[in-house]
Chain A
Amino acid sequence: MSALAPPKVVTLTDLFTAFLKVGMSGFGGVLPFARRMLVEEQRWLTPDEFNEVLSLSQFLPGPNIVNVSVIIGRRFQRVPGSIAASVGLMLMPMIILLTLVTIYAQFAQFPVVQRATHGVSAAAAGLMISVALKMAQPLRHTAWKVGIALIVFAAIGLARVPLLWVLLAMAPVSYALAWRSR
């Protein structure tokens, strides 16, 4: 991953400000903005390196974009770099959101605000479904993958089984099927 590392020096301030910008750019997910900043604007990573950082981030638990910031920060400035990048990423969105919710709390009793929020909630649920459907596209021709996705959906969504049990039961099954179909 570091074989093709760009020769430039990336400071803690660079990491902090770059991720500060990423944090403020995205609505409903900031990964596309992170890619543009890392690959196209700053050229800290090649497209292949970005894919690899992303796949490691998705492989591990935790918010994917926070994992990306930890990996990029580590790469250039070790532990302080990871802290600068992840704090830069979350700082402004948290300030904006907590300001927003404080204002919202003042107006939440007005019926028009309640109705608008209800509309946004209904659409936001639709966006979440669309994310799942888009992610399902590459899997839909493989029967066992569709089966695993549907069982996990039914267990969590319909039966409301706690996540830990579902992961403990389904991850090994999925792994065995993935191993067999290598």
Chain B
Amino acid sequence: MNLPVLGEVARQFLILSLLSIGGANAVIPEIQLRAVEVEGWLTNSDFSQMYALSQAAPGPNVLIVSLIGWKAAGYVGAIVAMVAMCAPSSLMTYQVANVWERFRDAPWRIATQTALAPVTVGLILASGYVLTRTIDHEWNAYLATGVTAIIAVMTRAHPLWLLAIAAILGALGLI
């Protein structure tokens, strides 16, 4: 077991936990920045593969974090990354839930919620863009990303079907 790496995994995800306003989807670019470019735990290609696997499995979006931890430091790394990503924010949520009723109608709270919505939209759009740049290098991959986005916005198609179709098209060498 590589303790220095585990410590670094814990440190990075403890920070990311408190930065993840807007949820796990909003911090994908920051995870990529820290894991690929700062720490060198994995390559961009690994990152996009891990992202694909996390989307193809059931469960919350935050699971990508456990795959980054796994790449960095094996199964223990996966658990350390996930606990580090959830612990600080959960402690904060627990404490705030204790006092929530007192300020839920306060003007500053309502303004904060209004203010966070566009920030979150910008962050998640950036996540989509960074993923696209990390994954797509050919015109047909860009086309697949664009068509998937359009279908997902315009229809109620289940995301899993879109991923399955993309897997088949990919296996056939079309993406």
Contact = CB atoms under 8 A, between A and B. Distances in A.
A147 B126 CA distance: 14
Contact of A126 (B25, B89, B144): B144
B89 A92 contact: no
A104 B51 CA distance: 13
A60 interface: yes
B171 interface: yes
A135 interface: yes
Interface of A is mostly: helix
B101 to A, nearest CB: 6
Given A94-B82, A145-B117, A149-B118, A28 B160 contact: yes
B2 interface: no
B149 A101 contact: no
Interface string A68-100: 001100110001001000100110111011101
B40 interface: no
Contact of B58 (A56, A96, A130): A96
A101 B70 contact: yes
Interface string B119-151: 111111111111110011000011011111110
A120 B52 contact: yes
Contact of A66 (B54, B90, B159): B90
Contacts of B107: 179, 182
B93 interface: yes
A65 B86 CA distance: 10
A125 B61 CA distance: 13
A128 B111 contact: no
B111 A89 contact: no
Contacts of B59: 23-24, 26, 30, 90, 92-94, 96-97
B4 interface: no
B interface, over-half SS: helix
B73 interface: no
Candidate in A59, A129, A174 with the most chain B CB atoms within 10 angstroms: A129
Interface string A115-148: 1111111111111111111111011000011111
A28 B61 contact: yes
Given A27-B56, A90-B59, A130-B150, 20 more contacts: A24-B59, A27-B163, A61-B21, A63-B20, A86-B86, A93-B58, A100-B53, A108-B49, A118-B52, A120-B167, A122-B141, A122-B166, A123-B165, A127-B149, A133-B125, A152-B121, A153-B122, A157-B125, A162-B33, A164-B19
15 contacts: A60-B89, A93-B59, A119-B174, A121-B135, A124-B55, A125-B131, A125-B135, A127-B148, A131-B25, A149-B121, A149-B125, A153-B123, A162-B30, A162-B33, A163-B123
Interface of A: 1-2, 23-30, 52, 55-67, 70-71, 74-75, 79, 82, 86, 89-90, 92-94, 96-98, 100-101, 104, 108, 112, 115-136, 138-139, 144-153, 155-158, 160, 162-164, 167, 170-171, 174-175, 177-179, 181-182
